[in-house]
Structure 1
């Protein structure tokens, strides 16, 4: 059978780089396959995607050796329009993909170019938006939507393409857990119903594996490190080696001293045919699964009955009260559009509440300027492209100190330190444009950390980051918290919340519907259902394998990880 995409001894070097980003890639992808391309940040995944969708060589020029064909043709001989009829792409940064003034216009764009009759076009747009639960937003500007809603509109747009290959670049990056599940189901349904070739580039291992995958292609340092079925890859333990987090229950099995070699069925949390599994896991959870008592924290930030709406008739934030203590890590959880980003803009002073009070270190901050708040409360936005203003990495990180008149020698020293902390020191002399999305995310975090605020709001701090950098960064956050820096984490990552946050505040429809330990919140079905949260795979796995106390496996896992992190 002839492959639809074929790389043979393929290498690519960007014009601005000395070394090739892709090295000696040999890979055949067959029509109708569903492929997951995985690997750490900077491993070459996005560059490989650019080769497939034609951004290389049409947008990004460089030196190519070896060969690459799509449907038997060399992409360099095709126009960008001809290529777009063969490969449809959902980009990670949706803002750069929207062309319509409204959601409906954007989804209709491909059909308009093909002169599809208006009644047929309208029916297809309505069908596509209904599939992604966005029909009620049909007349809204796509730029006014939350990150997750934008992702849904992009998914609706791809439903209108006739391309044989669908390429999804980080399709889950900004989605809440339930929306992520729905997106993967939607991608799977498109794959099954259309028979198209589907290629997914994504960090969220458990979410991608919720639906069947034919093959996983693992990349590392510009090369293909491994190719195999999910069972082959998961049981071999190579994911962690290449900067990806295995499913939590797979880690828990290994922590309990049970080998995964040759085990089948690890893609989803289900009953496994491993002799003595229940007995060994129960014994391990009894040993390390005791729940720890919660420490108390001196008050730092307190919101009292805060109300805000973009117009007077409709409140987006409705009577919200919450607090964050000195050195405390609080997770702000909730579905897309619940008001989490709006709340953080109220705290930083970008928006002004219509009523309610905000107290910082005992002082009412309603009259504080954005600059004054910014010296005490750092805010790292969800999309790093919205924060970056400088061309060079070191200049971007040092900008906040420069405008505050800090001496050049001190700026240089603090920039070096911040870059080391965020894993960007090797790139300190690079232009920002050479960084991947995940690396830009860490750059935006470094530029706030350098200002040494007392409270940091991190909006999806680990989105687009591989497990190695995720763990390195979150362990660093934990260390800063131990020194008294407080964090409010806006996140869809339930494991991040479980392992790193002392408490969770759950927002839904602009209201706080729960406030407790993360494990407690995630074990309340009425809360998780309302707020589009997802029960952790650990407790699903524990129930599937009839463990004595499912919640104890969660605590054992968290305790073991914390202990391991302190070693």
Structure 2
């Protein structure tokens, strides 16, 4: 069988760069295969995608070496229009991909270009939207939709292209666990029913592996580091070496000293055929799974009986009470629409509650202005680009102090201090545009740290970051907590909560439905289902293998990870 995509000793160097981004790539992808290309940020996987879909050389120029054939032809000799009939792409940033004013118009775009008769076009559009569960949104603007819905509309648009190859660039970016699960299921349904070649570029390992994959291509530093089936890659332990996080239960097996060479079935949290596995893991859980009995820290923020509705007769926040201590990291979990953002706006003073009280460090802050609260309670948005307004890094970090009339000499000292803490001091005279996404997130924290708050609310702190950057960023947050700053992490990311939070508060339909250790919350299917969270793969694995206490197994994993980081 002829490959549909064939790289042979292929290299690519962007214009104005001294080093090639891709080096000696040799990779054959066959019709109907489902391939997952993985690797840390900067490994070259996006550049490889641009070579496949024609953005290189048509949008990004540069020098190539070796050969690349797509459906037997050199893409550089085709037009981007011709190439798009072979390769359909779903981008990470869906907003930049929409061209129609309504969902239906956007889906019909390719059909209009083909001059398809209108009655047939209407039928095809309806069929494509029905396939992705978006038929009732035909007349909506694509920009009004949630992340998961936008993803589905992008899929419907690509389904109408007849392209033989579907390329998904970070399809899970910005999706909560439930939407991510649906997206991967949808991609798998399309692959099975259409027989198209599917290429997925993504760093969320566990989420991608919920569905079958033929081969994983691991990239690192512009080269292909490894190619293999999921079992081959997972049992070899290669992922950690390339800045990727294996499924949590695979890490737990390693912590427990279970050899994995040649073990099959690691893609999903299921029963494994390893003699004596249950006894070994029960013994490890018993020895390593004690919950730490740390004394409760002094309360920094106390929320009592909070109620709020944008219209009083339709409450969004219902009798919510919670407390966060100094130096404590607490995760606020819940699905989209649970009320997490509304609650954070009540805490920061953007919204006023209809009833209930807020105390900070023992003082009633109900009458405090937003500005006064901002000095005590920092709020870091999910997307740093929405917070940053200045061109230069030092100016951005000092903006809050300047607005408060602090003298320039003091601003300089406090900004330099905050930038040192955030690892940005060497870049203090750089423009903001030179920073990576993860560095911009640190800058948005630096601009709040200069105000010396004791509590910081972080909205989806790790969204859009690969595992290495995520770890760096969260270890940095843990070090700030060690200095006595309290954190409320508003997140969909279960792994983040497991590894870094002392407690989890679960919000569902505006009410707190659980507050406990993260291991207890995420091992309880009643809670996770009610809040549309994902029961952690650790507890699903523990149940599948008949362990005596799934919760203790989860706690043993948390303890082993913290020990490895020196957080104990």
TM-score normalised by the chain length of structure 1: 0.89
Structure of higher CA gyration radius = 2
> For 1:382 and 1:431, how far apart are their aligned partners in 2?
21
2:10 aligned partner: 10
> For 2:11 and 2:525, how far apart are their aligned partners in 1?
50
2:515 aligned partner: 515
Aligned with 2:420 (options 407, 417, 421): 417
Deviations 1:332-384 (A, max 9, x none): 11122333234334433445556554443344445545444333333332234
1:283 aligned partner: 283
SS of 1:268's partner is coil
> For 1:349 and 1:80, how far apart are their aligned partners in 2?
50
1:538, CA displacement in angstroms?
1.3
Structure 1 residue 57 and structure 2 residue 60: aligned?
no
1:446-465 alignment runs, 5 A limit: 447-449=447-449, 452-465=452-465
CA RMSD of aligned residues (A): 3.1
1:555 aligned partner: 555
Q: Tell me if the contact between 1:217 and 1:227 (Cα under 8 Å) persists in the aligned partners.
A: yes
Question: Which segments of 5 or more consecutive residues in structure 2 lack a partner in the other structure?
Answer: none
2:293 aligned partner: 293
> For 2:322 and 2:558, how far apart are their aligned partners in 1?
25
Structure 1 residue 197 and structure 2 residue 200: aligned?
no
- Cα distance change of structure 1 residues 126 and 229 upon mapping to structure 2, 3 Å threshold: same
Q: Tell me if the contact between 1:46 and 1:169 (Cα under 8 Å) persists in the aligned partners.
A: yes
1:101 aligned partner: 101
1:51, CA displacement in angstroms?
2.2
**Of 405-414 and 321-330, the range deviating more from structure 2:** 405-414
1:198-237 alignment runs, 5 A limit: 198-237=198-237
1:499, CA displacement in angstroms?
2.1
> For 1:35 and 1:280, how far apart are their aligned partners in 2?
35
Deviations 1:120-143 (A, max 9, x none): 545554554455454555444433
Structure 1 residue 543 and structure 2 residue 543: aligned?
yes
SS of 2:2's partner is coil
> For 1:61 and 1:415, how far apart are their aligned partners in 2?
39
- Cα distance change of structure 1 residues 133 and 355 upon mapping to structure 2, 3 Å threshold: farther
Structure 1 residue 268 and structure 2 residue 274: aligned?
no
SS of 1:270's partner is coil
1:302 aligned partner: 302
Structure 1 residue 473 and structure 2 residue 438: aligned?
no
**Of 358-367 and 214-223, the range deviating more from structure 2:** 358-367
> For 2:294 and 2:110, how far apart are their aligned partners in 1?
54
1:191, CA displacement in angstroms?
0.6
- Cα distance change of structure 1 residues 131 and 529 upon mapping to structure 2, 3 Å threshold: farther
**Of 192-201 and 361-370, the range deviating more from structure 2:** 361-370
> For 1:279 and 1:387, how far apart are their aligned partners in 2?
51
1:43-442 alignment runs, 5 A limit: 43-293=43-293, 295-309=295-309, 314-353=314-353, 356-366=356-366, 368-390=368-390, 406-407=408-409, 410=413, 413-414=416-417, 416-420=419-423, 437=437, 440-441=440-441
TM-score normalised by the chain length of structure 2: 0.89
1:241, CA displacement in angstroms?
0.7
Between the two proteins, the alignment pairs up a number of residues equal to 564
1:480, CA displacement in angstroms?
1.6
Question: Which segments of 5 or more consecutive residues in structure 1 lack a partner in the other structure?
Answer: none
SS of 2:470's partner is helix
2:526 aligned partner: 526
1:317, CA displacement in angstroms?
3.9
- Cα distance change of structure 1 residues 101 and 515 upon mapping to structure 2, 3 Å threshold: farther
Deviations 1:66-90 (A, max 9, x none): 3333222333333333332222222
1:186, CA displacement in angstroms?
0.9
SS of 1:150's partner is helix
> For 1:440 and 1:36, how far apart are their aligned partners in 2?
28
> For 1:385 and 1:113, how far apart are their aligned partners in 2?
35
Q: Tell me if the contact between 1:39 and 1:243 (Cα under 8 Å) persists in the aligned partners.
A: yes
Q: Tell me if the contact between 2:124 and 2:160 (Cα under 8 Å) persists in the aligned partners.
A: yes
Q: Tell me if the contact between 2:335 and 2:531 (Cα under 8 Å) persists in the aligned partners.
A: yes
Q: Tell me if the contact between 1:42 and 1:436 (Cα under 8 Å) persists in the aligned partners.
A: no
> For 1:114 and 1:392, how far apart are their aligned partners in 2?
47
1:451, CA displacement in angstroms?
5.0
1:306, CA displacement in angstroms?
4.2
Structure 1 residue 501 and structure 2 residue 501: aligned?
yes
1:3, CA displacement in angstroms?
2.0
- Cα distance change of structure 1 residues 134 and 160 upon mapping to structure 2, 3 Å threshold: same
**Of 197-206 and 330-339, the range deviating more from structure 2:** 330-339
SS of 2:462's partner is coil
- Cα distance change of structure 1 residues 417 and 509 upon mapping to structure 2, 3 Å threshold: same
1:439, CA displacement in angstroms?
5.6
2:490 aligned partner: 490
> For 2:262 and 2:46, how far apart are their aligned partners in 1?
31
**Of 494-503 and 410-419, the range deviating more from structure 2:** 410-419
> For 1:8 and 1:438, how far apart are their aligned partners in 2?
34
Q: Tell me if the contact between 1:149 and 1:336 (Cα under 8 Å) persists in the aligned partners.
A: no
**Of 30-39 and 96-105, the range deviating more from structure 2:** 96-105
Deviations 1:413-447 (A, max 9, x none): 34652453xxx788878766566655655554555
> For 2:130 and 2:207, how far apart are their aligned partners in 1?
22
